[in-house]
């Protein structure tokens, strides 16, 4: 009982310390430091280490938040699945790689509570601005190579978040529209077709939301506006994909994009299978071992042959050096020097490392938050800036077509942001720090 009483005596001091830190905008500083993977201490990034050390401060602010608790459950299932596969799978595993992969859960899961804490105190635009600054500085510290893919690897995500966050601070519509046009143009000039589609689709969703809010004829016995809105989003996605393919093939966005698109369609029969054939590989591996391989699993010569035959049978002509060097970690199909599976998809990477249960829980949680955000946006939510709509589109793309090692942190930040807006219903801060509230009570 003495230890419990001592812990209770510490709670008021922790609360006062948290209030002081909130008043000095420390949550924003933590959010900016989280993406700093290049700055580490004993192998652990400094931002995540500070977020972990600050756990006693922010956990009291988010302990009853259903979104954060749901993420904690999903991450617990991922961790349990990964450890079970590590010890129970007959595959050979690299302990070093396994620890690195399991460390991803810590470096992306712990900051989720910090994001929510900061959003509650500061609001959407300042938090997104801090996160974007952290991303951009970290990308610059990694070194900038001014080649054809410099926008994709260095500036795409950070500048998208920064520019749209600055536009959100104005609380006007025309800066956001202008920012979206500029970002789409920069992405097109950099050859990043997915970013052009995400920004364009997000802009369409944002502009259509007020129109669906005014459709009172859909509010009869049941409010059908969310169904109509989400249905329009799905139909619009298909239409945008078809229109984008024609635009890319026509050469309106440049000869480089036109050549890449024609080459990928010729190699795979369609833009999706030719450009993102990793899903063919993932599907073949899933049929071989549906329970996953475990963190640090070493690809074998059998895996290499299986992947090669699956791509050949599907009529896809991929970059074999990319398949063997990146996806399966070997130097050639004849000399296997494996490291790990890299399937270039958050969903597939979660499955191959942590098993289907945790991966399914995480993906379902993110998709539910996306749907809930869209549904509430046309019913009860206050006016929302363009930023979360673009984040939603990027999240859906990253879930299926982006690697876990660089994009899981972006998916978690976007999902927490969407969950915050869905739960709170306002992009601005929901309450002042506790110290401010206490001061008001004293004055009264």
Name beta bridge partners: 40: 45
**What is d(CA 156, CA 65) in angstroms, rounded to the nearest whole number?**
31
Give CA torsion, residues 234, 198, 358, 27, to 10 deg: -130
The pLDDT assigned to 42 comes to: 63
Confirm if 413 and 114 have CB atoms less than 8 A apart: no
User: Cβ of 53: how many Cβ atoms within 10 Å?
Assistant: 11
Burial class of residue 203 in the structure, from the number of CB atoms within 10 Å of its CB (0-12 exposed, 13-18 middle, 19+ buried): buried
Q: Has residue 112 got a pLDDT over 50?
A: yes
| 311-318, Cβ contacts within 8 angstroms, sequence gap of 24 or more | 311/277, 311/280, 311/281, 314/268, 314/273, 314/277, 314/280, 315/268, 315/269, 316/267, 316/268, 316/269, 316/273, 316/274, 316/277, 316/280, 317/266, 317/267, 317/268, 318/267, 318/277
Section 156-177 average pLDDT: 92
Return the closest-CA partner of residue 257 out of 319, 178, 197.
197
Backbone dihedral angles phi then psi of residue 191, each to the nearest 5 degrees = 80, 15
Q: Has residue 438 got a pLDDT over 50?
A: no
Task: Determine the distance from the C-alpha atom of residue 55 to the mean position of all C-alpha atoms in its chain, rounded to a whole number.
Answer: 22
The pLDDT assigned to 153 comes to: 78
Percent above pLDDT 90 for the chain: 28
The pLDDT assigned to 330 comes to: 53
Give the chain's radius of gyration (CA, Å). Answer: 23
pTM here? 0.85
The pLDDT assigned to 255 comes to: 64
Q: Has residue 38 got a pLDDT over 90?
A: no
The pLDDT assigned to 427 comes to: 66
Name beta bridge partners: 45: 40
Residue 154 Rama label (left phi>0; alpha psi -120 to 50; beta): alpha
User: Which residues touch 429 (CB under 8 Å, ≥6 apart)?
Assistant: 119, 120, 121, 122, 123
* H/E run at residue 41: strand 40-41
More confident of the two residues 425 and 176:
176
Backbone dihedral angles phi then psi of residue 277, each to the nearest 5 degrees = -80, 0
H/E/C letters for each residue in 156-185? HHHHHHHHHHHHHHHCCHHHHHHHHHHHHH
Residue tagged 């608790």 (tokens) = 69
**Across the chain, which distance is largest between two alpha carbons, in Å?**
79
CA atoms within 13 A on the CB side of 251: 2
User: Could you tell me the pLDDT band of residue 417, with boundaries at 50, 70 and 90?
Assistant: very high
**What is d(CA 263, CA 257) in angstroms, rounded to the nearest whole number?**
10
Mean model confidence pLDDT for the chain: 80
- Convert the pLDDT of each residue in 349-368 to its tens digit: 999 999 999 999 999 999 99
Confirm if 226 and 375 have CB atoms less than 8 A apart: yes
Residue tagged 């993110």 (tokens) = 366
Q: Has residue 159 got a pLDDT over 50?
A: yes
**What is d(CA 436, CA 349) in angstroms, rounded to the nearest whole number?**
44
Confirm if 387 and 128 have CB atoms less than 8 A apart: yes
H/E/C letters for each residue in 208-229? HHHHHHCCHHHECCCECHHHHH
More confident of the two residues 45 and 182:
182
């Amino acid at each position: 009982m003495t230890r419990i009483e001592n812990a209770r005596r510490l709670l008021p001091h922790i609360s006062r310390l948290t209030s002081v830190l909130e008043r000095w905008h420390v949550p924003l500083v933590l959010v900016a430091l989280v993406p700093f993977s290049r700055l580490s201490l004993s192998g652990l990034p400094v931002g995540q280490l500070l977020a972990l050390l600050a756990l006693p401060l922010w956990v009291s602010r988010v302990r009853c938040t259903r979104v954060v608790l749901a993420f904690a459950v999903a991450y617990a299932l991922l961790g349990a699945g990964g450890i079970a596969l590590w010890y129970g799978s007959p595959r050979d595993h690299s302990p070093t790689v396994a620890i690195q992969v399991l460390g991803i859960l810590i470096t992306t899961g712990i900051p989720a509570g910090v994001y929510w804490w900061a959003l509650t105190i500061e609001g959407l635009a300042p938090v997104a601005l801090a996160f974007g600054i952290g991303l951009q500085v970290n990308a610059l510290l990694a070194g900038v190579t001014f080649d054809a893919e410099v926008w994709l690897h260095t500036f795409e995500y950070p500048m998208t978040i920064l520019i749209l966050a600055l536009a959100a601070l104005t609380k006007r519509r025309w800066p956001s529209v202008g920012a979206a046009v500029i970002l789409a143009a920069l992405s097109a000039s950099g050859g990043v077709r997915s970013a052009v589609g995400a920004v364009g689709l997000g802009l369409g969703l944002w502009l259509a939301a007020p129109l669906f809010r005014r459709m009172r004829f859909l509010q009869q016995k049941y409010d059908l506006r969310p169904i109509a809105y989400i249905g329009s989003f799905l139909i619009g996605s298909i239409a945008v994909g078809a229109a984008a393919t024609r635009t890319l093939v026509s050469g309106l966005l440049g000869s480089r994009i036109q050549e890449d698109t024609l080459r990928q369609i010729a190699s795979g029969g369609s833009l999706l299978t030719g450009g993102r054939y990793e899903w063919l590989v993932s599907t073949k591996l899933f049929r071989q071992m549906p329970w996953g391989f475990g963190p640090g699993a070493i690809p074998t010569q059998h895996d290499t042959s299986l992947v090669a035959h699956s791509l050949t049978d599907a009529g896809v002509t991929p970059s074999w050096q990319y398949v063997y060097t990146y996806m399966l970690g070997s130097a050639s199909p004849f000399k296997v020097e494996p490291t790990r599976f890299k399937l270039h998809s958050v969903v597939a990477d979660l499955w191959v490392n942590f098993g289907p249960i945790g991966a399914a829980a995480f993906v379902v949680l993110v998709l539910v938050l996306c749907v809930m955000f869209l549904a509430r946006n046309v019913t009860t939510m206050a006016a929302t800036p363009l930023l979360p709509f673009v984040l939603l589109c990027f999240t859906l793309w990253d879930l299926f077509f982006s690697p876990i090692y660089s994009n899981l942190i972006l998916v978690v930040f976007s999902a927490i942001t969407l969950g915050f807006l869905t739960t709170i219903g306002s992009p601005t801060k929901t309450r002042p720090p506790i110290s401010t509230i206490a001061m008001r009570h004293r004055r009264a």
